[in-house]
């Protein structure tokens, strides 16, 4: 199995909770023999789509912009599975990830067809799988905050643009760095690794594994109290620094 993992957080490596989860998942995939290619969008030059339609008309399947996107497109075309990993910023995907996604318009044809009574575009490369696994985190403690992401993805799935194999959401992700939750962090990351193993081995992630990954580990009252305390500490810390200057 060839896996293309698209990492769409502006944060890098050790400070990114999205990366923690993705890295653990991919480690499990590799243990089961999958060939994994990590596409860290931070490291690529990807220009904004200008809506010129060159990739649909003048040079079908080839973008007019000169950047790193053709390299990424080739990786995606060869993959059996794509893993999309991004944090939720202001109730949606990051600008970094959305910019990448806009540029994948090249993978669609300009023509129209109906899917469940709604117009869409056929895909250019139907011979390869459109299977996707979604990994996303947010700072808020409730799973409800992922509803906009879920509905957006399901709408695209309904238009025949992708096939969602799993959605892995981790709320209250910022609290995973707190020392009192170290054991929970390790438990969740171990479950992410197991999820990678299970998917490559079985083609699905078990319910118990998902339950561990998405478990509640902080109540709303504690979240609000400790979260507000932290942000007030940060504000006071920077105020003190300014006064020292």
Encode pLDDT of 176-200 as tens digits.
Answer: 999 999 999 999 999 999 999 999 9
The whole-number pLDDT of residue 239 equals 93
| Ordered DSSP codes for the chain | -EEEEEE--SS-GGG-HHHHHHHHHHHHHHHTT-EEEEEEGGGS--PPP----TTTTTSTT--SS-SSHHHHHHHHHH-SEEEEEEEEETTEE-HHHHHHHHHGGGGB-S--EEETTEEE--BS-TTS--EEEEEEE-SSS-GGGGHHHHHHHHHHHHTTS-EEEEEEEESSGGGGGSGGGHHHHHHHHHHHHHHHHHHHHHSS--HHHHHHHT---S-HHHHHHHHHHHHHHHHHHHHHHHHH-
- Domain extents in the chain: 2-214, 218-245
The whole-number pLDDT of residue 165 equals 97
* CATH architecture of the region 2-214: 3-Layer(aba) Sandwich (3.40)
Give the span between the Cα atoms of 109 and 77, in whole angstroms.
15
For the chain, list residues with pLDDT below 50: none
Count of Cβ atoms closer than 10 Å to residue 116 Cβ: 8
pTM: 0.93
The whole-number pLDDT of residue 129 equals 58
The whole-number pLDDT of residue 128 equals 60
């Amino acid at each position: 199995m060839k896996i293309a993992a698209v990492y769409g957080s502006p944060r890098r490596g050790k400070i990114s909770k999205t990366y923690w989860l993705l890295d653990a998942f991919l480690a499990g995939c590799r243990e089961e023999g999958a060939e994994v290619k990590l596409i860290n969008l931070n490291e690529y030059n990807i220009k904004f789509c200008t809506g010129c339609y060159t990739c649909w008309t003048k040079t079908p399947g080839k973008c007019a912009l000169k950047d790193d996107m053709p390299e990424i497109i080739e990786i995606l075309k060869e993959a059996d599975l794509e893993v999309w990993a991004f944090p939720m910023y202001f109730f949606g995907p990051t600008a970094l990830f959305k910019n990448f996604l806009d540029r994948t318009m090249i993978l669609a044809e300009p023509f129209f067809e109906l899917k469940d009574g709604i117009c869409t575009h056929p895909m250019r490369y139907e011979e390869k799988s459109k299977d996707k696994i979604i990994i996303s985190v947010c700072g808020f403690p409730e799973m409800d905050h992922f509803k906009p992401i879920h509905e957006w993805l399901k709408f695209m799935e309904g238009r025949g643009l992708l096939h969602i194999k799993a959605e892995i959401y981790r709320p209250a992700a910022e609290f995973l760095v707190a020392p009192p939750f170290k054991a929970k962090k390790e438990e969740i990351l171990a479950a992410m690794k197991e999820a990678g193993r299970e998917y490559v081995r079985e083609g699905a992630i078990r319910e118990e594994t998902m339950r561990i990954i998405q478990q509640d580990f902080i109540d709303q009252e504690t979240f609000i109290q400790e979260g507000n305390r932290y942000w007030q500490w940060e504000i006071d810390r920077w105020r003190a620094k300014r006064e020292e200057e």
